[in-house]
Structure 1
Amino acid sequence: MTAVLESVVPLFALVLLGFAAMRFRVLSAEGLAGLNRFVYYFALPVLLFFIFARAPMGALSDWRLVAAYSGASVILFFATLLLGRAVFPGRSLAERTVVAGGAAFSNIAYLGVPLVIGALGPAAGAPAGLILLADNLILITLIMGFLEAASAPSFRPARLALNVLKGFGRNPFMLGMVLGVVWGLLALPLPGPVERFGDLLGGAAGPCALFALGGSLYGRPIAEGRAEVGFATLCKLAVHPALAAVLAFLVLDLPPDLALLVVVIASLPTGANIYVLAAQYDAAVARASTIVLLTTGLAVLSVSGLLIAAS
């Protein structure tokens, strides 16, 4: 228990510190924007590149890893989307899609990768990165598809495919991971100065990402739809990891270390991408913001409790 707390509490303390820096105006909005750009365009892509470039290819070859995590996410997304129609009548498809996305999409990039490396060890980096890649390709595409269908007079798959490809091509995380996989598959050497550069810049990714995450939570609007927010929060922090555990441990029989990794990532709070998509499509923006804020706050307890129970 002590070892888990020593690993996890400092990570969430960085999130709290970032929130406090914005709350007490130690960090300006412009400073936070600059820090986010540093993390998004430089530190995290470099960290992900070196994780994949150095990873044994065997760590990326078990299809059950993606099946367990993405299977749980997709099942939960459709279940909350359908249940939301019955429980919250009158909500549009776009609004229900945002809430369902909030229940199923984890904050893997800014919180998950640093957390699993810190709590489970460096070997967890490559599987976590693979889940991040799959989650963006599968779940975000699914969410965007429903939002496109809800907003366009006539749904055009070609437009959706083009938007997904554009998003993929502009996403530094995705580019860093793909380049890292290619580098690893070709077994290309990493010169000493290049490795040192990667260690320096990639080493800044975790602390800066967590600090920036905390800062970005300050000042978010609070939703009026408390029932929907509570529903999505319960699904994200309790149902998502439970589904992932069933698939990882019982259905797909993953090795215990990988199964635990899948469950921990499923227990993470909602990723900020849901808020970005809600704002882009002007659907349930305040509810998305509150889901991100509330799940992140409660995850301090839920994720720590899960890791303590598993230790």
Structure 2
Amino acid sequence: MTGVLEGFTVIFVVIALGYLLARFEVLGEHGQFVLSRLVFFVATPALLFVTLGTSDLSVILSPILVIAGTTALMVGAIHFLIAKLLLDRAVPEATIGGLAASYVNAANLGIPIAVYVLGDATFVAPLLLFQIMIYSPIALTILDLSTRGKKASIRNIVVTPFTNPIVLAGAAGLALSISGLTLPDALMQPFELVGGAAVPGALLAFGLSLYGTRVLQRGVSPRRDVALASTLKMVLQPLLGFSMALAMGLEGQQLFAITVISALPTAQNVFVFASRYNRGVVLARDTAFVTTLVSVPVIAAVSLLLA
């Protein structure tokens, strides 16, 4: 329980700092926009390159990868279909909603929770790989095609992911890991330095976005979409993760780990993606805020039941 509180305290403090930066206009009126683009185009790609380039693939390729990937895709698809068919949302908003319902905060919250609660940070590595190399390219391709007026031709579907800096950096890092090469420190340290700004940058941008607005504000926030995404994220995804782990014969620490990982809140990356394409921004912001609050008692309950 102490680990859960410690991990969340770090998150809330940095978000609060972002709010204060906006409150006192330290970064000017375009601060959140510039910071979000810096995180999307520069810091996050650098972090992904370093993370994957130095990862041990034997640790990443585990049953947790299958379970985390399958549950995320299932929950994301469920939200997308409900948003598109029942709520009549456009494809970009339905895509952001699907991400908000299933894209786990594996980096800036998953790692400290894994360390403090699970006792091993490698538990989140499979999920990071899936989100970087599979989930992000799929979602960003859909957003690129649906917001830029491109036709969904085979050529565009194949080419579009490789025009995205996040996908390119992830692919480069994975290739480096597979090759077994080790780059000199003089080459890796710049990526490590810049990549270190990704997590605090995303949290600060999220905090900046909270100033001057109210979460779940009537007439501004798509409350039904937020409620749907939050429920799927905090109820359905953990239950699916737990059920799949049992079905695959996992028990003990692995069963506990996959359930905790599935119960992590929506990643601030979704807000960064939404800001980049200027679609579903309030939906991403409010869902991240709600699920972050709700995940505290959820993860605490999972810890009491399964630890």
- 2:66 is aligned to 67
Q: Given the superposition, is the C-alpha separation of residues 25 and 112 from structure 1 closer, same or farther in structure 2, using an over 3 Å criterion?
A: farther
Please point out which of 196, 200, 210 is paired with 1:207: 200
Structure 1 residue 235, shift from structure 2 partner: 1.9
Q: Is the 8 A contact 1:272 1:292 kept in 2?
A: yes
- 2:118 is aligned to none
Name the CA distance, whole Å, in 2 between partners of 1:21 and 1:183. 38
Name the CA distance, whole Å, in 2 between partners of 1:199 and 1:224. 37
Q: Is the 8 A contact 1:264 1:303 kept in 2?
A: no
Q: Given the superposition, is the C-alpha separation of residues 76 and 44 from structure 1 closer, same or farther in structure 2, using an over 3 Å criterion?
A: closer
How many residues end up aligned between the 2 structures?
290
> Unmatched 5+ residue regions in structure 1?
280-284
Name the CA distance, whole Å, in 1 between partners of 2:93 and 2:40. 28
- 2:9 is aligned to 9
1:119 aligns with 2:113: yes
- 1:232 is aligned to 229
Q: Given the superposition, is the C-alpha separation of residues 116 and 258 from structure 1 closer, same or farther in structure 2, using an over 3 Å criterion?
A: farther
Q: Given the superposition, is the C-alpha separation of residues 183 and 254 from structure 1 closer, same or farther in structure 2, using an over 3 Å criterion?
A: farther
- 1:183 is aligned to 176
Q: Given the superposition, is the C-alpha separation of residues 299 and 82 from structure 1 closer, same or farther in structure 2, using an over 3 Å criterion?
A: closer
Q: Given the superposition, is the C-alpha separation of residues 165 and 60 from structure 1 closer, same or farther in structure 2, using an over 3 Å criterion?
A: farther
- 1:267 is aligned to 264
Matches within 5 A, 1:106-185: 106=103, 108=104, 111-121=105-115, 122-124=121-123, 126-133=125-132, 134-139=134-139, 157-158=152-153, 162=156, 165-166=159-160, 168-185=161-178
Q: Given the superposition, is the C-alpha separation of residues 16 and 123 from structure 1 closer, same or farther in structure 2, using an over 3 Å criterion?
A: same
Q: Given the superposition, is the C-alpha separation of residues 198 and 208 from structure 1 closer, same or farther in structure 2, using an over 3 Å criterion?
A: same
Code of the residue aligned with 1:127 in structure 2: it is P
Name the CA distance, whole Å, in 2 between partners of 1:96 and 1:208. 24
> Unmatched 5+ residue regions in structure 2?
116-120
Structure 1 residue 174, shift from structure 2 partner: 1.7
Structure 1 residue 273, shift from structure 2 partner: 6.1
Q: Is the 8 A contact 1:69 1:266 kept in 2?
A: no
Name the CA distance, whole Å, in 1 between partners of 2:190 and 2:200. 17
* 1:252-276 deviation per Cα after TM superposition (whole angstroms, max 9, x unaligned): 3457458725753563226226745
Percentage of matched positions with identical amino acids: 23
1:295 aligns with 2:287: yes
* 1:191-243 deviation per Cα after TM superposition (whole angstroms, max 9, x unaligned): 23334444433333322222123223445695365334323322233223322
* 1:117-139 deviation per Cα after TM superposition (whole angstroms, max 9, x unaligned): 22224435632421212212345
* 1:38-86 deviation per Cα after TM superposition (whole angstroms, max 9, x unaligned): 3223322222212212111202323x44432332233334434555578
Q: Give the structure-1-normalised TM-score.
A: 0.74
Secondary structure in 1 aligned to 2:183? coil
Secondary structure in 1 aligned to 2:172? helix
- 1:56 is aligned to 56
Q: Given the superposition, is the C-alpha separation of residues 263 and 253 from structure 1 closer, same or farther in structure 2, using an over 3 Å criterion?
A: farther
Secondary structure in 1 aligned to 2:126? helix
Code of the residue aligned with 1:67 in structure 2: it is V
Q: Is the 8 A contact 1:66 1:131 kept in 2?
A: yes
Name the CA distance, whole Å, in 1 between partners of 2:224 and 2:19. 25
- 2:28 is aligned to 28
- 2:246 is aligned to 250
Q: Is the 8 A contact 1:65 1:131 kept in 2?
A: no
Name the CA distance, whole Å, in 2 between partners of 1:99 and 1:199. 29
Q: Give the structure-2-normalised TM-score.
A: 0.75
Secondary structure in 2 aligned to 1:29? coil
- 1:76 is aligned to 75
Q: Is the 8 A contact 2:76 2:101 kept in 1?
A: yes
